[in-house]
A and B are shown apart, each in its own frame.
Chain A
Amino acid sequence: MIEIDDLCVGYGSQPFLRHLSLQVPQGQFLGILGPNGSGKTTLIRALSGTLRPHSGQIRIAGQNIQQLSAKTRARACATITQKTPRIDGIGVLALVLMGRYPYLGWLGSYGRQDQDQAHEALKWTQALTLAQRSCQTLSGGELQRVILAKALAQDTNLLLLDEAASNLDLARTMDMYNLLQAKNKAGLTIVTVAHDVNLAALYCQRLIFLKNGSIVADGPTREIITAQLLSEIYETPVVVSAHPVTGVPQAHLVPDA
């Protein structure tokens, strides 16, 4: 699904991520973890095509994303960014319909199918009751759900998320990850940046850890989370135990005293 070959990418003249290679098979739920400033967002931005690589290639479904038109790329891959933009002067439904833009023809208007898809996506994110509201009246969590609906309305095989749960309370976070898991089971490939190791461990099949612009660990969730690895990467003492219900490894911080 995604093939990254010897990727160097960054914001200035010097690339921050250096010589990074990675394969993500179709249908995987992948978590990208790492301390602040490790390059997680940079990687997501490179994958979404908004940041041009210094060198190397990213292929999605066999095609180099830099050679695709913006519209074609948007039909292959939907992205939710870390910073939720300030959005006003537009209705919720109109915002979700933005996700249908890559399917519009020349001079096209949103048709029946686009409307249906937008409503369906709002239903998935439990935001259908917001459809007639104006975006500026929404709370941060509501807006986050609407933006997720927009990305789902884009009807892609790949979804990139950057800290998408950061504005949500516990119940909404679980709702969102449960929805993502259901979509993943139905074939959607998901790559998500996460701060919360434990949350990522609950849902992702595979985790990669970035530090200082390189991949320092990569493997199946149940095998890769160890006390030693996490303590080294995050530079703070961590112990690991099995989740009492699902048995996946969970990390626990240890205070000084």
Chain B
Amino acid sequence: MAVPLSIYGALFWGSFPLPATAVHQALWDMVTQNAETQALIIVRDIRLSRIILAFCTGAALAVSGAVFQGLLRNPLADPFTLGISSGAACAAAVVLGLGLACPLPLAALVGALLAMALVLFLAHLAGGFSRTSLVLGGIVVSTFLGAIIALIKALNEESVTSIVFWIMGSFQGRGFAHLGLMLPYLGLGLCIILVFSRELDLLTVDADQAALVGVNVGQSRVALLLGAGLLTAAAVSVSGIIGFIGLVVPHLIRLIQGPSTRPLIFYSALVGGTLLLWSDVLARTILPQGAELPVGVVTALFGGPVFCLILAKKNTHD
């Protein structure tokens, strides 16, 4: 219920002053396909597209965070634990630093998928898809890619600002084209996670116990990792790196409704999406004269204290 209301409500906020009646008129024009007014273009192509994109990104980050936390049985895991974001960031840095004529989101997506493949390969080399080998693989990959990013920054000082800004995460100037790029991966990732949600339930309890009741542990881990990795890649490629949504939201939902996987995923998606949507509204309206904050800064500023509250609450629960 809060979701359509949020999408509707967020339409009224923006750097270009637009009265409520004009927004309604534009919405009506959109439905009736009447005239292409300036207000219609602002409401549909700038605000609505960005709102939907922010919602999908938030949902993807929260769901993949929930999966990573369960899969690695580590409450500190988030979508970026396994170095997938570093892949995206590194690819973006290469494109920005070398001035390549390649669309940034596409490069980031390829980078994220390559990094994920590398993590899986390293874990396989280290003797199977155990939690330790996955985390180790993730750390190796993200450290190495981090070094490459630093190298590019050092070699090409002009690109530093744009690289830093991209890495901080923002929806500035993003629209339906970005949505089109991320949706297939979002859909595929969600499908994989839903199919393997029962296995995730059991793996979260204990991998050995899961194996004894007939879960194919290695196969399920790889499938879930691929699913969550696709979600992360989809989110990161359009928005840059937005922290805390993937860490905080699953904790919050788990505290409210318990650890059962399917409701956890469902509510994480809704809450994560709504949260990022409003964070983005804040990011694009809080500064005067149309200047924008990176939305990653907003989520981190709010996410830190909220996470502390959750920790304190959790303590009293136990």
Contact = CB atoms under 8 A, between A and B. Distances in A.
B204 interface: yes
Interface string B192-215: 001100100010111011111111
A87 interface: yes
Contacts of A75: 214
Interface in B208-267: 208-216, 254, 258-260
A70 B206 contact: no
A198 interface: no
A175 B216 CA distance: 33
Contacts of B202: 98, 101
Contacts of B198: 101, 104, 107-108
B206 A50 contact: no
Contacts of B254: 89
A74 B260 contact: no
A81 B208 contact: yes
A69 interface: yes
Interface residues of A, number: 30
Interface string A107-138: 11000000000000000000000000000000
Contact of A101 (B206, B215, B260): B215
A73 interface: yes
Interface in B94-126: none
Nearest to A153: B213
A85 B209 contact: yes
Contact of A74 (B194, B212, B258): B212
A252 interface: no
Given A94-B260, A101-B198, A104-B198, A87 B214 contact: no
Interface in B48-95: none
Nearest to A101: B213
B205 A87 contact: yes
| Shortest beta-carbon contacts, A-B, top 7 | A74-B214, A102-B214, A71-B214, A85-B206, A101-B213, A70-B214, A70-B216
Interface of B: 194-195, 198, 202, 204-206, 208-216, 254, 258-260
Interface of A: 48, 50, 69-75, 78-79, 81, 85-87, 89-91, 94-95, 98-99, 101-102, 104, 106-108, 150, 154
Given A50-B212, A81-B208, A98-B209, 15 more contacts: A70-B211, A70-B214, A70-B215, A70-B216, A74-B214, A78-B212, A85-B208, A101-B202, A101-B213, A102-B213, A104-B198, A106-B195, A107-B198, A108-B198, A150-B213
